[in-house]
Amino acid sequence: MITHNKIIIPNSRFGFTAYADHYHYGEQEGSNVPFIIFVGGATEPSVYLERMETTPDIIVKEFERIMPATLTSADLMIVPNPMREDSDYSSDRQDFRFHLFFDLMTKTQNARPETIGLVGYSLGAYLVTALAFDQPQVKSVAIIGGTEMTSAVEESESVPQGKRFMVYGNGDDPLVMEAYVFMKMVIDRGLIADVELGDGGHEFNDYVKNGYVGQAFAFALPTVKG
Protein backbone atom coordinates (compact mmCIF):
# COMPACT_ATOMS: atom_id res chain seq x y z
CA MET A 1 0.00 0.00 0.00
CA ILE A 2 1.28 3.45 -0.93
CA THR A 3 -0.48 6.71 -0.06
CA HIS A 4 0.53 10.22 -1.08
CA ASN A 5 -0.46 13.53 0.45
CA LYS A 6 0.55 16.99 -0.74
CA ILE A 7 0.79 18.93 2.52
CA ILE A 8 0.21 22.66 1.99
CA ILE A 9 0.76 25.31 4.66
CA PRO A 10 -0.90 28.53 3.36
CA ASN A 11 0.38 30.88 6.08
CA SER A 12 3.80 29.44 6.80
CA ARG A 13 6.36 30.93 9.13
CA PHE A 14 8.47 31.74 6.04
CA GLY A 15 6.00 34.35 4.83
CA PHE A 16 4.75 32.38 1.83
CA THR A 17 2.81 29.20 1.12
CA ALA A 18 4.99 26.20 1.95
CA TYR A 19 4.45 22.56 1.11
CA ALA A 20 5.86 19.04 1.14
CA ASP A 21 5.07 15.63 -0.36
CA HIS A 22 4.43 12.83 2.13
CA TYR A 23 4.36 9.16 1.13
CA HIS A 24 3.44 6.28 3.42
CA TYR A 25 4.39 2.72 2.53
CA GLY A 26 2.86 -0.40 4.06
CA GLU A 27 0.12 -1.18 6.55
CA GLN A 28 1.87 -0.28 9.79
CA GLU A 29 1.58 3.23 11.24
CA GLY A 30 2.91 4.96 14.32
CA SER A 31 6.13 6.16 15.91
CA ASN A 32 8.07 2.93 15.35
CA VAL A 33 7.77 3.25 11.57
CA PRO A 34 11.02 4.71 10.12
CA PHE A 35 10.68 8.24 8.76
CA ILE A 36 12.98 9.30 5.91
CA ILE A 37 13.12 13.01 5.08
CA PHE A 38 14.62 14.42 1.89
CA VAL A 39 15.38 18.17 1.85
CA GLY A 40 16.03 19.73 -1.53
CA GLY A 41 18.31 22.51 -2.66
CA ALA A 42 17.54 26.20 -2.98
CA THR A 43 15.13 27.09 -5.79
CA GLU A 44 13.88 30.24 -7.43
CA PRO A 45 10.47 31.38 -6.08
CA SER A 46 8.82 30.68 -9.44
CA VAL A 47 10.19 27.13 -9.53
CA TYR A 48 9.14 26.59 -5.93
CA LEU A 49 5.56 27.51 -6.83
CA GLU A 50 5.57 25.35 -9.95
CA ARG A 51 6.60 22.31 -7.95
CA MET A 52 3.61 22.77 -5.68
CA GLU A 53 1.49 21.55 -8.61
CA THR A 54 3.67 18.51 -9.40
CA THR A 55 5.07 15.46 -7.63
CA PRO A 56 8.78 14.68 -7.09
CA ASP A 57 8.67 11.48 -9.12
CA ILE A 58 12.43 11.16 -9.70
CA ILE A 59 13.20 11.26 -5.98
CA VAL A 60 10.38 8.85 -5.13
CA LYS A 61 11.58 6.41 -7.80
CA GLU A 62 15.09 6.38 -6.34
CA PHE A 63 13.73 5.77 -2.84
CA GLU A 64 11.49 2.94 -3.94
CA ARG A 65 14.30 1.38 -5.95
CA ILE A 66 16.45 0.84 -2.85
CA MET A 67 13.72 0.30 -0.24
CA PRO A 68 14.48 -3.24 1.02
CA ALA A 69 11.84 -5.94 1.04
CA THR A 70 12.37 -6.37 4.78
CA LEU A 71 11.21 -2.80 5.39
CA THR A 72 7.46 -3.41 5.30
CA SER A 73 6.43 0.11 6.32
CA ALA A 74 8.06 3.52 6.02
CA ASP A 75 7.30 7.21 5.76
CA LEU A 76 9.00 9.41 3.19
CA MET A 77 8.69 13.18 3.21
CA ILE A 78 10.18 15.31 0.43
CA VAL A 79 10.57 18.94 1.46
CA PRO A 80 11.53 21.59 -1.11
CA ASN A 81 13.88 24.14 0.34
CA PRO A 82 11.88 26.97 1.93
CA MET A 83 14.85 29.13 2.95
CA ARG A 84 14.46 32.75 2.05
CA GLU A 85 16.74 34.63 -0.32
CA ASP A 86 19.67 36.37 1.46
CA SER A 87 18.50 34.75 4.66
CA ASP A 88 20.20 34.33 8.01
CA TYR A 89 21.02 30.63 8.10
CA SER A 90 20.86 30.39 11.89
CA SER A 91 17.36 31.90 11.87
CA ASP A 92 16.21 29.57 9.10
CA ARG A 93 17.68 26.64 11.02
CA GLN A 94 15.13 27.10 13.81
CA ASP A 95 12.29 28.08 11.51
CA PHE A 96 12.83 24.99 9.38
CA ARG A 97 12.94 22.69 12.41
CA PHE A 98 9.65 24.09 13.70
CA HIS A 99 8.17 23.99 10.20
CA LEU A 100 9.09 20.33 9.82
CA PHE A 101 7.96 19.07 13.21
CA PHE A 102 4.95 21.30 13.89
CA ASP A 103 3.63 22.28 10.45
CA LEU A 104 4.39 19.25 8.28
CA MET A 105 4.83 16.12 10.36
CA THR A 106 1.73 16.80 12.44
CA LYS A 107 -0.23 16.35 9.20
CA THR A 108 0.88 12.70 9.07
CA GLN A 109 0.11 9.60 11.16
CA ASN A 110 3.73 9.57 12.33
CA ALA A 111 4.17 12.97 13.93
CA ARG A 112 6.70 11.80 16.54
CA PRO A 113 8.83 9.06 14.98
CA GLU A 114 11.35 7.30 17.18
CA THR A 115 14.02 7.32 14.49
CA ILE A 116 14.64 9.58 11.51
CA GLY A 117 16.98 9.27 8.55
CA LEU A 118 17.86 12.35 6.50
CA VAL A 119 19.00 13.02 2.95
CA GLY A 120 19.91 16.57 1.89
CA TYR A 121 20.85 17.95 -1.50
CA SER A 122 22.84 21.17 -2.06
CA LEU A 123 21.68 23.82 0.44
CA GLY A 124 19.39 21.20 1.91
CA ALA A 125 22.60 19.73 3.35
CA TYR A 126 22.79 22.65 5.77
CA LEU A 127 19.28 21.96 7.02
CA VAL A 128 19.70 18.20 7.48
CA THR A 129 23.03 18.67 9.26
CA ALA A 130 21.39 21.16 11.61
CA LEU A 131 18.55 18.72 12.26
CA ALA A 132 21.05 15.97 13.05
CA PHE A 133 22.70 18.13 15.70
CA ASP A 134 19.40 19.42 17.11
CA GLN A 135 17.19 16.31 17.11
CA PRO A 136 18.04 13.09 19.00
CA GLN A 137 15.73 11.02 16.75
CA VAL A 138 18.03 11.57 13.77
CA LYS A 139 20.39 8.60 13.42
CA SER A 140 21.92 8.85 9.95
CA VAL A 141 22.44 11.65 7.45
CA ALA A 142 23.36 11.38 3.78
CA ILE A 143 24.43 14.52 1.91
CA ILE A 144 24.46 14.93 -1.89
CA GLY A 145 26.40 17.81 -3.45
CA GLY A 146 26.15 19.61 -0.14
CA THR A 147 26.99 23.16 0.87
CA GLU A 148 27.01 25.13 4.14
CA MET A 149 26.93 21.99 6.30
CA THR A 150 30.14 23.21 7.94
CA SER A 151 28.22 26.30 9.09
CA ALA A 152 25.60 24.06 10.70
CA VAL A 153 28.34 22.29 12.68
CA GLU A 154 30.01 25.55 13.74
CA GLU A 155 26.69 26.93 15.00
CA SER A 156 25.98 23.88 17.15
CA GLU A 157 26.72 24.29 20.84
CA SER A 158 26.60 20.58 21.71
CA VAL A 159 27.89 17.42 20.05
CA PRO A 160 25.29 14.64 19.72
CA GLN A 161 26.27 11.01 20.05
CA GLY A 162 25.73 8.08 17.72
CA LYS A 163 25.24 10.02 14.48
CA ARG A 164 26.44 8.77 11.10
CA PHE A 165 27.17 11.05 8.13
CA MET A 166 27.91 10.16 4.51
CA VAL A 167 28.73 12.80 1.90
CA TYR A 168 28.48 12.17 -1.84
CA GLY A 169 30.25 14.62 -4.12
CA ASN A 170 31.13 14.84 -7.80
CA GLY A 171 34.50 15.76 -9.23
CA ASP A 172 33.10 18.63 -11.33
CA ASP A 173 30.81 19.94 -8.57
CA PRO A 174 32.24 23.30 -7.45
CA LEU A 175 30.99 22.62 -3.92
CA VAL A 176 32.89 19.37 -3.51
CA MET A 177 35.75 20.66 -1.33
CA GLU A 178 33.39 21.45 1.54
CA ALA A 179 32.71 17.72 1.79
CA TYR A 180 36.24 17.04 3.02
CA VAL A 181 36.28 19.98 5.43
CA PHE A 182 32.95 18.80 6.81
CA MET A 183 34.19 15.22 7.20
CA LYS A 184 37.15 16.39 9.29
CA MET A 185 34.95 18.62 11.45
CA VAL A 186 32.54 15.78 12.15
CA ILE A 187 35.26 13.22 12.88
CA ASP A 188 37.04 15.70 15.18
CA ARG A 189 33.80 15.78 17.20
CA GLY A 190 33.82 12.03 17.62
CA LEU A 191 31.13 11.25 15.05
CA ILE A 192 31.23 8.95 12.02
CA ALA A 193 31.64 10.49 8.56
CA ASP A 194 32.96 9.55 5.15
CA VAL A 195 33.08 11.03 1.63
CA GLU A 196 32.62 9.31 -1.72
CA LEU A 197 33.58 11.07 -4.95
CA GLY A 198 31.99 10.32 -8.32
CA ASP A 199 31.67 11.64 -11.86
CA GLY A 200 29.50 14.59 -12.80
CA GLY A 201 28.69 18.13 -11.75
CA HIS A 202 26.34 19.73 -9.25
CA GLU A 203 23.05 19.14 -11.09
CA PHE A 204 20.69 16.80 -9.25
CA ASN A 205 20.33 14.61 -12.34
CA ASP A 206 24.09 14.03 -12.30
CA TYR A 207 23.71 12.48 -8.85
CA VAL A 208 20.78 10.41 -10.05
CA LYS A 209 22.78 9.11 -13.04
CA ASN A 210 25.83 8.07 -11.03
CA GLY A 211 23.67 6.31 -8.45
CA TYR A 212 24.43 8.57 -5.50
CA VAL A 213 20.82 9.54 -4.82
CA GLY A 214 19.92 5.88 -4.41
CA GLN A 215 23.02 5.25 -2.30
CA ALA A 216 22.12 8.20 -0.09
CA PHE A 217 18.71 6.72 0.66
CA ALA A 218 20.28 3.32 1.26
CA PHE A 219 22.69 4.88 3.78
CA ALA A 220 19.88 6.66 5.61
CA LEU A 221 17.75 3.51 5.90
CA PRO A 222 19.75 0.79 7.72
CA THR A 223 20.22 2.57 11.05
CA VAL A 224 16.67 3.87 10.94
CA LYS A 225 15.43 0.29 10.63
CA GLY A 226 17.29 -0.53 13.82
Can you tell me the mean pLDDT for 9-32?
92
pLDDT at 122: 95
Q: What percent of the chain has pLDDT over 70?
A: 94
What phi and psi values does residue 117 have, to the nearest 5 degrees?
A: -115, 140
What CATH class does 2-225 carry?
A: alpha beta
Residue 111 has pLDDT above 90, yes or no: yes
The alpha carbon torsion through 130, 132, 134, 135 (nearest 10 deg) reads 140
Mean pLDDT value across the chain: 92
Can you tell me the mean pLDDT for 194-218?
97
CA separation, residue 46 to residues 12, 13, 127 (Å)? 17, 19, 21
Residue 162 has pLDDT above 50, yes or no: yes
* Digit-coded pLDDT (tens) for 180-200: 999 999 999 999 999 999 999
Its pTM stands at 0.94
User: Which one-letter DSSP state was computed for residue 54?
Assistant: S
Residue 226 has pLDDT above 60, yes or no: no
CA–CA–CA angle 20, 138, 34 (5° rounding): 65
Contact of 40 with 79, CB cutoff 8 Å? yes
The alpha carbon torsion through 84, 95, 8, 15 (nearest 10 deg) reads -50
Can you tell me the mean pLDDT for 71-88?
80
Q: Which one is predicted more confidently, 92 or 83? A: 92
Can you tell me the mean pLDDT for 88-93?
67
Cα 114 from Cα 131, distance rounded (Å) = 14
Residue 68 has pLDDT above 70, yes or no: yes
Q: Where are the domains of the chain?
A: 2-225
pLDDT at 174: 96
